[in-house]
Structure 1
């Protein structure tokens, strides 16, 4: 039998069949029976380190037979199994085994499993229960690379509960696993069972580091017995590394009525984002806490500039506190000097923050603090401006202004003589590409040839243009008297003109579309890709005709699938529906395109894509994964999992809020007391009744939006006396 969780050495483990419990920075992954067998990605983790890779439950030396499993929110899972007697003609079980898993954030409880045994036989049952445990204390990057790691030795620990401890000789990281028998009261509550015999603890001499807890049990008919396995880990981290949040979520939870699938997607997305939250270590009791969301579980469970910024942007209709926390967390780590290894530069915004230096396979080595991103820096300024438009106080805006100024200075320095913003070749063992499509084969032309840096990416020009205009708007609002606002408008105009000259491709049959990139010689890189979808809301497109051309390319048969937008045209060499950036469908990428289409007035196209993404989410239990595959053949009637995809992933989870915002056509300007609502009519989305979204956040106000069957709107929570509420004709075509 081949275990899909046990790939060949050197291959990234698959995740699509794993059960994931998450409370960042801690998580656990296992097969659907709950067993951890020391293979693949399975294990309990904290701070990017695997605390346990083996935790097998055995009855009389055999694994119980799995029956089913279920999850109760992001943190908890329940696995049910049974034991049967060989030769029993009824095949009825004599023992029911329930395994309850919970992952807790450090400081809020201990992670682990509770094993519950129930004798359902009519006779007394005598048997041996064993729990086998081991670990390698591997870092997540090593696990992702499929690289083998030796197990860590262990020792017995005596105390209130018997336990075993593993200690890593490399960095003194350590893990403690304790076993605690439980009693169940009449009301169903469990408590430690004082006075009961401790388990026998066996250390395997043939396999140093492997430990076994063993109980000799005797259960009377209908009797139950339980034991709790408690896990504690202490790993080494860099100074100032983020910690679990101590406060509640930094957003308001809305309610969607009249659109059940959107409501289900939003509920699941917000639950996943809650589990992905982290916070700054420097936050003191009684002060506001700077929270952000980690990029994704398990591979990117930390601060990632681009990902965390995009997630915060998408969440702005629910409040600005997540944006504020994300901005300050990144601002404190903004580049101050030039460093060739970390690729730090003055003003540059961080790409990723890890607890320690990581080795990712294929020779790639990334430092704990890495700046190799071309888009996080302009996106930082875009987020600051949009957060201000949604109600971030002017006081915060002024405090963050020096960081925005430094970021724009970096953007200016990244612009070449042709006024385009580029990235060049970094160090040999760093990232080759520095946009959101950062895999080695992410940028290819229509012939399938790999294009290497220096490169100017199309969406990055849009971000830079938007950042320049946003920065100019901020300076103007704050009373800039030095002409800096006007100078940035001029730079934005030059960038826009350069984009118009350099990026547009005209095919022989007359179709025009923006290239994914401009190469080192200034030539546009041919071939339809999804990157152009990011341009629709950036302002860099010149007119309605260019927006129409982008919209038509996005919804063409080459890019559009029934469940979202492909990253690369299905008609091009190199297309692969299971390629990370060469044909797969990314949830955030498609949601950005949807929002851009809706804003640009392409309501029918946006509505069809919303419907498709909601259909995709239904196939994944209403949880949009990081990315998924759509076969080009219509014979496959559902999206396929992308096996190594993060689940949950921040901007995929936050895409639910962006889709909701696109559905309502929201555009806010709190400083000028303006709100625009241009919803998509229910009929375009296959609805026969009104829908509403209650609990949106507009500065200090809570706002409800109701949309009738014809697309007409009613806004509650603010009034026309103090606000200018614009409700253009509804989007019905």
Structure 2
């Protein structure tokens, strides 16, 4: 059914997205070229539930394509394409027929024609439509499906397609005259012939697009209700930060999904954030967890929904193909098993990540601190304990007690957030194969154990809490012994290795992973200062954000997936750690670059972008050509940075909100209204003197601003 793209060697390549216009209303989205004409190429089309419903929607007026003049986003889910239709016989060079197409994810599109000239026009308007009903995994692999035959629908002007794995329907709506509809072996056409448009008049018609996978995947995420489970803050301060927060929250609204498996009739809807559009518009363990974690200052409801969606799918058995194990947290949920290229074959429920499980535990702990109701905390606590048991038991697989991953053939080779095949390289540029213990994963595990121990202690489970503290202390000691690499040159005498192998040989070469250790508690103060110096150095700080790999080592590639590009969320997590450990100057250096990059991306931060060095006259940064945009944890990063700059840290046990803001001399005064702490909505203000003022705390809570 599928054909490879015409490239040297005949191998299909992943479609590039750098010039694709995406509008999204999860689980649906539309991907379009900038002229709005869908021609069945690359990733173009209307999608729903990982299924391409249409890949061709081509408009002709009098047998000619309109000439595009602009594209304007109307929100995360809608976009307007404007074109003109000109006539050589006109006595003016001005366009006299303006064409507008408004495309809406999950609905379809409307076509409007406006005669702004002085003579009447008689028009023939055609819209050609076709589809291959391809799975998103095949589209991502660069496979072009053959157009399927369609039939004229009964009961109104429309067309329908059906295959073994999908179905789609297109109907004409909101039209002034009934179109002629024809179907054939490679698609169909809606035709309006003899449309008379007097001067000043307009004509409009719409197409609705519906469909999905066949059969319906049981338990797959669905579109959420209109209710948004977080507050809309009012931020005052650096305009770039204000823009990043505002645009990020708008994109997150469009990336929401809901778990259809509610706790019962009348139970609250469990919403979570899809990983990213177009490739990962579904539940992803680590991505959805990080998005919810970054938004905790605005919501524990999103964290609750994310935790329950994952808890219902927590591993219960040992399954080699799914890489499932009791207590393990899901990595990825898809409608069906799929081939992902390069020998990667994944089931619909895939558990192949080493980091989602400890991150699940930490999300529950942090949500508790931010005021998640006790009933939810207690109901989710057994799931967190089972997750922690998986972490501890997996770490005992090797004598050194580190948390490693052991991928199966045909599964993901690397199982943390840097999951590309060449994500782990040493200082000589050589690829390092698993099993590996990644540095940030040890930090996640330590943070999960110490946080869960604190939570268990408040529930009277002191023996379990003490056991976890002992395990975490031993892990911290093993980390200190195994992960530090002495540096002959550099901003600090040592750095943390990206990983160690089974022989405890550290993988050399500075990488951004060590930035995610700063908030975990696994480092001592000297280690925090050493890492802060490396993160601020020009080899890792590109001037636009934190590079995933040092520019000073072989194998650095500023436009690779994990070998030198800048990841928005990775920079934000490093900023959180730098602020939490008092390294404010290093934090602001990264923030300033990231915010400048946000301006060039119109505040819709891509999943990742180029890691080229910034100079005084360097051009704007470029998005990675196949990056998701919008992307969940990138969109949530603005809130994470806001909370980091304010230095917010709630303590549920002590009922204290600690506020340790960045000195205003570094980034200016900052204020936010509409935070959430339990049922309260506190306000935090930091003026020009650096003094923090906090109001609106829950009853019994106090602020610590010393």
> 1:535-554 residue pairs with structure 2 within 5 A?
535-541=517-523, 543-554=524-535
Give the one of 677, 701, 704 matched to 2:680.
Answer: 701
Q: Is the 8 A contact 2:535 2:586 kept in 1?
A: no
- SS at the partner of 2:145? coil
2-structure distance, mates of 1:281, 1:7: 42
1-structure distance, mates of 2:331, 2:528: 30
> 1:523-542 residue pairs with structure 2 within 5 A?
523-541=505-523
What residue is the counterpart of 1:629 in the other structure? Answer: 610
- Shift in Å at residue 240 of structure 1? 1.1
What residue is the counterpart of 2:642 in the other structure? Answer: 660
Give the one of 677, 686, 705 matched to 2:659.
Answer: 677
Give the one of 215, 219, 226 matched to 2:204.
Answer: 226
Could you list the per-position Cα deviations for residues 302-341 of structure 1 after superposition, in whole angstroms to 9, with x for gaps in the alignment? 0000000011111110121111111111000000000010
Runs of 4+, deviation exceeding 3 Å = 5-9, 283-286
- Shift in Å at residue 528 of structure 1? 0.4
Give the one of 41, 49, 56 matched to 1:39.
Answer: 41
- SS at the partner of 2:693? strand
2-structure distance, mates of 1:122, 1:280: 55
2-structure distance, mates of 1:199, 1:165: 16
Could you list the per-position Cα deviations for residues 365-386 of structure 1 after superposition, in whole angstroms to 9, with x for gaps in the alignment? 1100000000000111111111
Could you list the per-position Cα deviations for residues 496-530 of structure 1 after superposition, in whole angstroms to 9, with x for gaps in the alignment? 00000000000234720000000132100000000
- SS at the partner of 2:182? strand
Q: Does 2:411 align with 1:430?
A: yes
What residue is the counterpart of 1:275 in the other structure? Answer: 254
Q: Is the 8 A contact 1:630 1:638 kept in 2?
A: no
2-structure distance, mates of 1:503, 1:349: 26
1-structure distance, mates of 2:365, 2:28: 33
Give the one of 517, 521, 525 matched to 2:499.
Answer: 517
Which is worse superposed, 397-406 or 299-308? 397-406
> 1:223-372 residue pairs with structure 2 within 5 A?
223-236=201-214, 237-283=216-262, 286-372=266-352
What residue is the counterpart of 1:145 in the other structure? Answer: 141
2-structure distance, mates of 1:127, 1:598: 63
What residue is the counterpart of 1:178 in the other structure? Answer: 171
2-structure distance, mates of 1:334, 1:428: 22
Q: Is the 8 A contact 2:544 2:614 kept in 1?
A: no
What residue is the counterpart of 1:134 in the other structure? Answer: 130
Could you list the per-position Cα deviations for residues 408-451 of structure 1 after superposition, in whole angstroms to 9, with x for gaps in the alignment? 11101111211211112x22211000011000000000001111
What residue is the counterpart of 1:112 in the other structure? Answer: 108
1-structure distance, mates of 2:6, 2:383: 46
- Shift in Å at residue 363 of structure 1? 1.8
- Shift in Å at residue 89 of structure 1? 5.4
What residue is the counterpart of 2:187 in the other structure? Answer: 210
Give the one of 352, 355, 362 matched to 1:375.
Answer: 355
Give the one of 615, 626, 637 matched to 2:596.
Answer: 615
Q: Is the 8 A contact 2:159 2:183 kept in 1?
A: no
1-structure distance, mates of 2:393, 2:126: 62
1-structure distance, mates of 2:129, 2:235: 45
Q: Is the 8 A contact 2:533 2:586 kept in 1?
A: no
2-structure distance, mates of 1:340, 1:152: 36
C-alpha root-mean-square deviation of aligned residues, in Å?
Answer: 1.6
Q: TM-score scaled to structure 1, two decimals?
A: 0.92
> 1:472-483 residue pairs with structure 2 within 5 A?
472-481=453-462, 483=463
Q: Is the 8 A contact 1:7 1:13 kept in 2?
A: no
Gaps of 5+ in 2: none
Q: Is the 8 A contact 1:112 1:228 kept in 2?
A: yes
Could you list the per-position Cα deviations for residues 146-167 of structure 1 after superposition, in whole angstroms to 9, with x for gaps in the alignment? 01322221101132x3111011
What residue is the counterpart of 1:731 in the other structure? Answer: none
1-structure distance, mates of 2:641, 2:272: 21
What residue is the counterpart of 1:485 in the other structure? Answer: 465
Q: Does 2:557 align with 1:576?
A: yes
Q: Does 2:118 align with 1:122?
A: yes
Give the number of equivalent residue pairs. 692
2-structure distance, mates of 1:149, 1:519: 42
> 1:415-454 residue pairs with structure 2 within 5 A?
415=395, 416-424=398-406, 426-454=407-435
Could you list the per-position Cα deviations for residues 652-708 of structure 1 after superposition, in whole angstroms to 9, with x for gaps in the alignment? 0110110000110000013421011011132201x3xx3310011111111001111
2-structure distance, mates of 1:722, 1:444: 51
2-structure distance, mates of 1:247, 1:26: 15
- SS at the partner of 2:571? helix
Gaps of 5+ in 1: 105-110, 183-192, 729-733
- SS at the partner of 1:90? coil
- Shift in Å at residue 17 of structure 1? 1.1
Give the one of 566, 575, 583 matched to 1:585.
Answer: 566
- SS at the partner of 1:322? helix
- SS at the partner of 1:311? helix
What residue is the counterpart of 1:185 in the other structure? Answer: none
What residue is the counterpart of 2:26 in the other structure? Answer: 24
Q: TM-score scaled to structure 2, two decimals?
A: 0.96
Q: Is the 8 A contact 1:670 1:699 kept in 2?
A: no
User: Taking structure 1 as reference, are residues 633 and 650 closer, same or farther at Cα in structure 2, changes over 3 Å only?
Assistant: closer
What residue is the counterpart of 1:108 in the other structure? Answer: none
Could you list the per-position Cα deviations for residues 239-265 of structure 1 after superposition, in whole angstroms to 9, with x for gaps in the alignment? 111111125111111110132221111
